Amino acid sequence: MSVPATSTSVASTPAATPFLPKLARIVAAEQFTPKEKWFRVVPHDGRPLAHPPMSFVQVSVFGVGEAPISVCSSPTREQAFELCVRAVGSVTNAMHQLGVGDTLGIRGPFGNGFDPSAHKGKDFLFVAGGLGLAPARSLIQYVLDRRQDYGKVTILVGARTPGDLLFQGDIQEWVSRPDVQTLVTVDRPAEGWKGNVGVITTLFKKIKINPAATLAVIIGPPIMFKYAVLEALSCGIPENRCICSLERRMKCGLGWCGHCQIRGTYVCKEGPVFTYEQVKRLREGI
Ligand SMILES: Cc1cc2nc3c(=O)[nH]c(=O)nc-3n(C[C@H](O)[C@H](O)[C@H](O)COP(=O)(O)OP(=O)(O)OC[C@H]3O[C@@H](n4cnc5c(N)ncnc54)[C@H](O)[C@@H]3O)c2cc1C
Ligand code: FES
């Protein structure tokens, strides 16, 4: 089975003026860690973002600039959408200064995203390391909101330390659900941590999957991705059912400027979601 990860059919219709940001108001915010902050955002025009899971928006902080950020909530929860931002530079640090009531600019949604409706009945194995849980969460929420449409759901989450774990409220909820298997691990435990210790690949020996029915969604830092894909492949999941999300420097988000190009592939438009089979052919992809 091949996964139509690059289908553009799941992306919503672009706005008439795709370079003009829509205004959106921050209605909730939480500092998850010193580096990562979560925001819930509502467009001023009240229209849902209508994004496919694992797509992204170009977020602007006025007077500072624009940055691509994954929508970390599912389109099934459409009254608002959510972002989780790691402060690394000018735009992301400026976003960390914002809070409830502040206004952002939003362009998009952009990217192919992932169309879960094309995979009804399948099992899902999510392997999310660090900030990779942000794009993965949009699809996890979608699958859990349509739980009856999918088979077995397994979620593996890894972080460097317990304090680095993002979306801790969600993780607790997933762990308590009988219809989902959720395992969490940290590289370095802190006092009081009673969970798994070790890199995320060590969790594979604790799960049982049916490779013939499973889609593996693997998102995290490049080193994690490399070893997690090897584990998924060794479980028998084929390359065209290992799904990942690529990050590249972006400007337009529309396939026009070429900033995100890898050997003729426009990550902003043809991606960011690719199968491992596709990524393998893009040298420098990961
Ligand atoms: C499709 C996509 C989805 C993303 N989703 C998220 C998300 O959900 N949350 C999040 O926090 N970040 C996400 N990012 C990364 C985010 O876009 C960058 O961290 C952001 O653009 C940095 O902007 P800045 O102005 O704060 O940093 P700058 O001032 O531009 O740069 C600061 C430093 O970060 C480096 N940098 C900038 N952009 C990137 C990049 N794209 N990849 C690697 N290094 C970069 C620069 O080289 C520099 O060292 C995503 C990127 C892409 C392409
Ligand atoms: S960001 Fe401009 S072509 Fe991809």
Q: Find the 178 Cα to ligand 1 centroid distance in Å.
A: 36
Higher pLDDT, 8 or 259: 259
Interval 145-187: pLDDT, tens = 999 999 999 999 999 999 999 999 999 999 999 999 999 999 9
- How would you class 176 by CB atoms within 10 Å of its CB: exposed for 0-12, middle for 13-18, buried for 19 or more? exposed
Contact 78, 103 (CB under 8 A): no
Q: Is the CB of 69 under 6 A from ligand 1?
A: yes
- Report pTM: 0.93
The count of other CB atoms within 10 Å of the CB of residue 9 is 9
The angle formed by the CA atoms of residues 80, 275 and 237, to the nearest 5 degrees, is 110
Of 73-77, 78-82, 192-196, 198-202, least confident by mean pLDDT is 78-82
pLDDT, mean of residues 262-273: 94
pLDDT the model gives residue 56:
98
The pLDDT confidence band at residue 3, using thresholds 50, 70 and 90, is very low
Ligand 2, pocket residues at CB < 6 Å: 250-253, 255-260, 266, 268
- Most informative mutation of 219, 247, 249 for ligand 1 (most atoms within 8 A of CB): 247
- Most informative mutation of 55, 247, 266, 270 for ligand 2 (most atoms within 8 A of CB): 266
Within 13 Å and on the Cβ side, how many CA atoms surround 245? 31
pLDDT the model gives residue 263:
87
pLDDT, mean of residues 232-246: 97
The count of other CB atoms within 10 Å of the CB of residue 202 is 15
Interval 108-128: pLDDT, tens = 999 999 999 999 999 999 999
User: Which residues, in sequence order, are bridge partners of residue 69?
Assistant: 57
User: Which residues, in sequence order, are bridge partners of residue 123?
Assistant: 214
Distance CA 225, CA 131 (A): 12
Q: Find the 207 Cα to ligand 2 centroid distance in Å.
A: 39
Class of domain 116-245: alpha beta
Q: Is 140 helix (H, G, I), strand (E, B) or coil?
A: helix
Q: Parse the chain into domains and list their residue ranges.
A: 22-110, 116-245
Closest CA to 267 of 250, 244, 281: 250
Q: Tell me whether domains 22-110 and 116-245 share a fold.
A: no
Higher pLDDT, 170 or 7: 170
Q: Is 281 helix (H, G, I), strand (E, B) or coil?
A: helix
| DSSP characters over 225-254 | HHHHHHHHHHTT--GGGEEEE-----SSSS
Say which residue the tokens 């960390």 belong to.
96
Interval 77-108: pLDDT, tens = 978 999 999 999 999 999 999 999 999 999 99
Considering the segment(s) 22-110 as one domain, its CATH architecture is Beta Barrel (2.40)
pLDDT more than 70, % of the chain: 93
Q: Which ligand is nearest to the CA of 262?
A: 2
257 CA closest ligand 2 atom index: 2
pLDDT, mean of residues 131-140: 98
Mean pLDDT rounded to a whole number for the chain = 93
Interval 18-61: pLDDT, tens = 889 999 999 999 999 999 999 999 999 999 999 999 999 999 99
Q: Which ligand is nearest to the CA of 110?
A: 1
Q: Is the CB of 11 under 6 A from ligand 1?
A: no
Q: Find the 198 Cα to ligand 1 centroid distance in Å.
A: 27
Q: Which ligand is nearest to the CA of 271?
A: 1
Distance CA 217, CA 274 (A): 10
Within 13 Å and on the Cβ side, how many CA atoms surround 96? 16
Closest CA to 153 of 186, 169, 175, 135: 175
Q: Which ligand is nearest to the CA of 266?
A: 2
pLDDT over 80 at 214, yes or no: yes
86 CA closest ligand 1 atom index: 11
Q: Find the 175 Cα to ligand 1 centroid distance in Å.
A: 30
Distance CA 286, CA 284 (A): 6
